[in-house]
Structure 1
Amino acid sequence: MIANPSLIKEPERILVVDDDTEIRDALCAALQYEGYEVHIAVNGKEAVDRAQRLKPNLILMDVQMPVIDGIEATRRLKEDPVTVHIPILMVTVVDKKENIIKALEAGAIDYVTKPFFMPELTARVKAVLTLKKHYDESIEVKKQLNISEEKYRLVVDNASEAILVIQDGKSKFFNPKIREFMRCSSKNLASRPFVDFVHPEDQAKASEYFKELLEGEGAARIFDFRVVNKRGGIKWLEANGVLISWEGKPATLNFLTDVTERKQAQEEKEKIQYQLLQAQKMEAVGTLAGGISHDFNNLLQVIQGYGQMLLHNENQDERAQEALVRIVGAAKRGADLTQQLLTFSRAVDSDTRPLDLNHEVKKVKTLLDRTIPKMINIDLDLADHLRIVNADPTQVEQILMNLAVNAKDAMPEGGKLLIKTENAILNDEVCRLHPDATPWVYALLTVSDSGHGMDLETQEHIFEPFYTTKDVDKGTGLGLAMVYGIVKNHNGFISCTSDPGDGTTFKIYLPTLDREVQVDDEKEARAPIMQGSETILLVDDEEFIRDLVVQVLGESGYTVITAPDGKSGIKLYAEQQERIDLVILDLIMPEMGGRKCLAELLKMDPQVRVLIASGYALDGPAIEAIKTGARGHISKPYDIKEMLRVIREVLDHN
């Protein structure tokens, strides 16, 4: 029977170092008898060389030898990383105690004395080899532990999720991702209760979540909550947690995922769905109101017509005449209400023309000064060079009067009514939240009051016909419905924001004409403001924005070169650097974003003048761009007056 080679144990190797042939042979014979593989060296130098090649399990080293003695050889072996772990058993004579001390100090593990008692020698050899085996095993275990720990550390430190262990309310373990989420130091995170970092509105729910985990007997739970970092930024996190034992005590192991973008997309989707449902509801109500109004109008026409005919009959007595006057008057009031319903349903014709909203606001202001109580202050904030709209002046007046009357009724003790106009450029991002909007330049008409405000439930119904919060004898519930219908009929849209006790603001967006036109009540053409003759490079990925800015800046005398992305912008600037006076750079673009493009432009020309354009507030990336070399920031949607002012300011100040 042939043994399996993989099961045959290799003999342990021993290097015997001695210059005395007789002693060396005796040692070799005894060790080979015990089954060891024996190698020899005759001096210290040879011992060092052979040990480096053989890497024996044990060295039996004589002290006194030529060339290099055993103590020096031991010292050299212990200084070499290759041989440092090989145990050395020194061989010396009984009366040489100083040799024993020097040998042990040099690194020998033990010693045997001459003359040998072979059973003692082989016993010491076995003991040392056993220790060596245990030592090697412990080294291997430690090595494997280090490898395992390194793998674990790599996985944990590079995980896309934050990993967090919470015990007694505090963070006992966490990976770097949690610090990225929280924007705080490890010390700060570990020293405070974790719920301190949770948004105040979610702290109670977070505490309950961790409590349920601790009481849940290991059942996993998922929970969404917000955290607030030290800069005030808010992130949505999804926690997937389970009960564990940590250092002998109950704790929770939590995997946290950043779901901010998902939450924002969900909120945006819900807003769009709500706006769409509202639009569909108003469309349905408008269709119904239009149909009823036409039929009702016909009935009123019969009542009013016959009533007027009877009034002309001179044979009627006084009481009958008085009754007929009341009938005809009521029919006329009914006809007025019907007309308002038709306006809401957009079933009436509009006499549209190029119109200056500022002019219409001033006319209505004169009327309001005579009709609104003096305890209400009426302020105007009208934009210079407001773009022209195509609108019916009578219906614009109806909008302003109805909103002003609503504001008056909301301020029985007095207050402030503000009417404001401005230009607003709406891009695709803004239009997604308003189904009726399309990317364009709009004239924005804002009417704000400091009245008692409205709750959300009221706001959901304010544009519905006959919905009113006023007493029966003080309102028909058609005023705001008519405003809604007029705005829709002008291809615009309206929004309302309000809080109880904090006033109400209506914003009406009306699309402007694509060119400057002469308005009937203005004899002089409007002059472009903040003009210039410089050349501007516009880098923006939205074609509509590029076309619009080219038109706006062109009307103010500028020459505009456009690029659809960062790479094209850099190429154009490199080719035409001498003629380009300013770069307007969109912050958010695909492939190469605004910040990277800015860095490349600054490398090319440290003196380049760059304006950062962004639909976000002046924080985060926009501030970083300004810190790294941008000259300023303009917000989207553009306010044309403000954009021209900032451009002129940057160009005029080097």
Structure 2
Amino acid sequence: MPNSEDQNPFVAAFARTERALRESEARLQALFETAVDGMIIIDPRGRIVMFNPACERLFGFTAAEALGKNVAMLMPEPDHSAHDGYIARHVETGERRIIGIGREVKGRRKDGTVFPMHLSVGEAKQDGESLFVGILHDLTERKTTEAQLVHAQKMEAVGQLSGGIAHDFNNLLTVVVGNAELLVDMLRSRPDLQKIAEAVVQAGERGAELTQRLLAFSRRQTLQPTEVDCNRLVNDMEKLLTRMLGASFTVRSVTENGLWTAYADPGQLENALLNLAINARDAMPTGGSLTLSTSNMPLDERYRDRHPEVSPGLYVMVAVTDEGTGMGPEVLARAFEPFYTTKEVGKGTGLGLSMVYGFVKQSNGHVAIYSEPGLGTTVRLYLPAVAAEAEAGAGEAPPLADAPRRETVLIAEDDPFVRSFAVTCLTAMGYAVVETSDAREALRKLGDGIHADLLFTDIVMPGGMTGWELAQRARQMLPDLKVLMTSGYALEALVEAGRLPPGAHILNKPYRKADLARRLREALAG
């Protein structure tokens, strides 16, 4: 028996149109829900009417928290105060400031942090009223990469300039010192004038030392690389530094068994460690602990994405850690620049770290500093490993523990790229993941009833609460919660300084997926 659609062509046409609209709406909803970039729809009064999951990840607000609120909540000043005026002016006059075009703007997350993003805005009509659709793309990673490239290019340019200056000054100093020495010999009968000539020689020799340091920074010093047992070198340096630094300093070494052989100039490596020890001594005016450590360190493509000047490969890492005053972000950004120093006039040339930087770069290696004010500083030197030995050792991947169950890991990590990497790894391993950007947000999640089997937290985070304090408070809420901690700071030194209890489950940055998997299983089993 024919249905009503067959009997009435108008009804059939209406039904087809309705079905097409439903299918179109379903496709648009799927696009909105699965889009990698953030998508927001607001009404003419600036109220958010749609907020996709990508926006939730981008801003830290849930859709329930954002819907119905003014979109200005996602903007820092001055856009926060001016945004409603932009919309009103457009509605009244039709003036387009950003609609139909894209530009770079700033966004503000729930935790108050500001980040760069690309914003494209389109306008649509619904029941005669304008709706504004925003497409948001996070530019944080791109900006970080650009900044790394600019810094590497700046250091390269400064190095070339310094090398040229040092070369020319060496020629001048050869003449000055040589003639001053001749005068010393010629003025034996005039001790008063001979002293002046000797002062010229001494000043010239100090100038030659400075130019030699500039040549080291500009990677123009003569190196004699060979195979180096860094464990033995570090143990020898421990004895030397113990005598040099004095009784108010404790020097210790933490070396890795089975360390690969590095390929570098051993004399220059010793000189680099000596410079780092002197800097550490100056950062601890009343004494303290200095730690020398070694480990095998493969650096992969993901690490290269954050440090474009680094070639992925197998490295031997030698680190020097102090528990001194530490450095803030502004000082840290300029630490390797020649002649940049925070010491008093006459107490430093600002070339110590520059020499270390130049030596490691000329050795085809990589150097990184991790520092926090009041916590101390770790300088890591990554030297190329001897290829055949390292590849053989790296090929023997340690077996992982049992395949992970569907346990839930709560991540507290303020670095968005490290957090993203950890989330990707843990999700691929089969864990359920709850991510937060600091300790207070992690506690809020737990307070809201989120269950977690393990807390994976950075030790040093913004907001005034450390990872260890977070772990203590989280365990008060979930007594069975397991904890795994990580940091770019040398964790052996944290334990030594009493900042971590012995036996705590810890993972050094940078870490690989296999390291993370193994440490997680150990922590969960513990």
Instruction: Specify if TM > 0.5.
Output: yes
3-state DSSP of counterpart to 1:423: strand
2:154 aligned with 1:278, yes or no? yes
Q: Which of residues 303, 310, 330 is equivalent to 2:179?
A: 303
**Where does residue 455 of structure 2 map in the other structure?**
none
Q: CA deviation at 1:473?
A: 1.9
**Where does residue 467 of structure 1 map in the other structure?**
340
**Where does residue 419 of structure 1 map in the other structure?**
292
Contiguous gaps of at least 5 residues in structure 1: 1-51, 54-80, 87-135, 517-547, 559-580, 586-594, 596-613, 629-633
Describe how 1:505-654 pairs up with structure 2 within 5 A.
Answer: 505-516=378-389, 551-552=392-393, 617-620=421-424, 622-627=426-431, 646=518
Deviations 1:354-401 (A, max 9, x none): 212222222222232233365555443322222111223221121111
Question: Matched residues in 2 for 1:84 and 1:368: separation?
Answer: 95
Q: Contact (CA 8 Å) 2:321, 2:379: kept in 1 or not?
A: yes
Q: Contact (CA 8 Å) 1:165, 1:173: kept in 2 or not?
A: yes
Describe how 1:31-42 pairs up with structure 2 within 5 A.
Answer: none
Q: Contact (CA 8 Å) 1:285, 1:464: kept in 2 or not?
A: no
Q: Contact (CA 8 Å) 1:425, 1:637: kept in 2 or not?
A: no
3-state DSSP of counterpart to 1:406: helix
Q: CA deviation at 1:211?
A: 1.6
Q: CA deviation at 1:638?
A: 6.5
**Where does residue 471 of structure 2 map in the other structure?**
none
Between the two structures, name the one with larger relative contact order (CA 8 Å, sep ≥ 6): 2
Question: Matched residues in 2 for 1:83 and 1:245: separation?
Answer: 29
3-state DSSP of counterpart to 2:87: helix
Q: Contact (CA 8 Å) 2:47, 2:71: kept in 1 or not?
A: yes
2:90 aligned with 1:212, yes or no? no
Q: Give aligned pairs, total.
A: 421
**Where does residue 22 of structure 2 map in the other structure?**
150
Question: Matched residues in 1 for 2:357 and 2:52: separation?
Answer: 54
Q: Contact (CA 8 Å) 2:40, 2:135: kept in 1 or not?
A: no
Question: Matched residues in 1 for 2:47 and 2:285: separation?
Answer: 53
Question: Matched residues in 1 for 2:208 and 2:6: separation?
Answer: 109
What amino acid sits opposite 1:625 in the alignment?
Answer: M
Q: Contact (CA 8 Å) 2:298, 2:315: kept in 1 or not?
A: yes
Q: Which of residues 221, 227, 230 is equivalent to 1:348?
A: 221
Question: Percent identity between the aligned chains?
Answer: 24
Describe how 1:436-475 pairs up with structure 2 within 5 A.
Answer: 436-454=309-327, 458-475=331-348
What amino acid sits opposite 1:284 in the alignment?
Answer: Q
2:133 aligned with 1:255, yes or no? yes
Q: Which of residues 372, 383, 388 is equivalent to 2:245?
A: 372
Q: CA deviation at 1:275?
A: 3.7
Q: Contact (CA 8 Å) 2:180, 2:198: kept in 1 or not?
A: no
* TM-score normalised according to structure 1 size: 0.52
2:41 aligned with 1:164, yes or no? yes
Question: Matched residues in 2 for 1:448 and 1:84: separation?
Answer: 83
2:359 aligned with 1:486, yes or no? yes
Pick closer, same or farther for the CA change 1:271–1:83 going to 2, 3 Å: closer
Pick closer, same or farther for the CA change 1:394–1:340 going to 2, 3 Å: same
Q: Contact (CA 8 Å) 1:466, 1:478: kept in 2 or not?
A: yes
Q: CA deviation at 1:486?
A: 2.0
Q: CA deviation at 1:645?
A: 11
Pick closer, same or farther for the CA change 1:156–1:271 going to 2, 3 Å: same
Pick closer, same or farther for the CA change 1:417–1:163 going to 2, 3 Å: same
Question: Matched residues in 2 for 1:187 and 1:471: separation?
Answer: 55
Question: Matched residues in 2 for 1:467 and 1:83: separation?
Answer: 83
Question: Matched residues in 2 for 1:473 and 1:207: separation?
Answer: 48
Question: Matched residues in 2 for 1:619 and 1:351: separation?
Answer: 43
Pick closer, same or farther for the CA change 1:507–1:154 going to 2, 3 Å: same
Question: Matched residues in 2 for 1:487 and 1:83: separation?
Answer: 79
**Where does residue 164 of structure 2 map in the other structure?**
288
Pick closer, same or farther for the CA change 1:410–1:307 going to 2, 3 Å: farther
**Where does residue 363 of structure 1 map in the other structure?**
236
Describe how 1:172-191 pairs up with structure 2 within 5 A.
Answer: 172=49, 187=64, 189-190=66-67
Pick closer, same or farther for the CA change 1:508–1:183 going to 2, 3 Å: closer
3-state DSSP of counterpart to 1:472: coil
What amino acid sits opposite 1:370 in the alignment?
Answer: R
**Where does residue 96 of structure 1 map in the other structure?**
none
Question: Matched residues in 1 for 2:328 and 2:131: separation?
Answer: 42
Q: Contact (CA 8 Å) 1:275, 1:433: kept in 2 or not?
A: no
Deviations 1:614-640 (A, max 9, x none): 996432453353349xxxxx9997679
Q: CA deviation at 1:426?
A: 1.9
**Where does residue 56 of structure 1 map in the other structure?**
none
What amino acid sits opposite 2:135 in the alignment?
Answer: T
Q: CA deviation at 1:302?
A: 1.0
Select the structure of larger CA radius of gyration: 1
Q: Contact (CA 8 Å) 1:381, 1:421: kept in 2 or not?
A: yes
Q: CA deviation at 1:195?
A: 6.0
Deviations 1:170-212 (A, max 9, x none): 534567886797898765553666566x4xxx45466346423
- The root-mean-square deviation of aligned C-alpha atoms, in Å, is 5.0
3-state DSSP of counterpart to 2:298: strand
Question: Matched residues in 1 for 2:5 and 2:345: separation?
Answer: 103
Deviations 1:90-134 (A, max 9, x none): xxxxxxxxxxxxxxxxxxxxxxxxxxxxxxxxxxxxxxxxxxxxx
Q: CA deviation at 1:340?
A: 2.8
Q: Which of residues 119, 134, 144 is equivalent to 1:238?
A: 119
**Where does residue 475 of structure 2 map in the other structure?**
none
What amino acid sits opposite 1:626 in the alignment?
Answer: G
Pick closer, same or farther for the CA change 1:474–1:323 going to 2, 3 Å: same
Contiguous gaps of at least 5 residues in structure 2: 405-417, 433-506
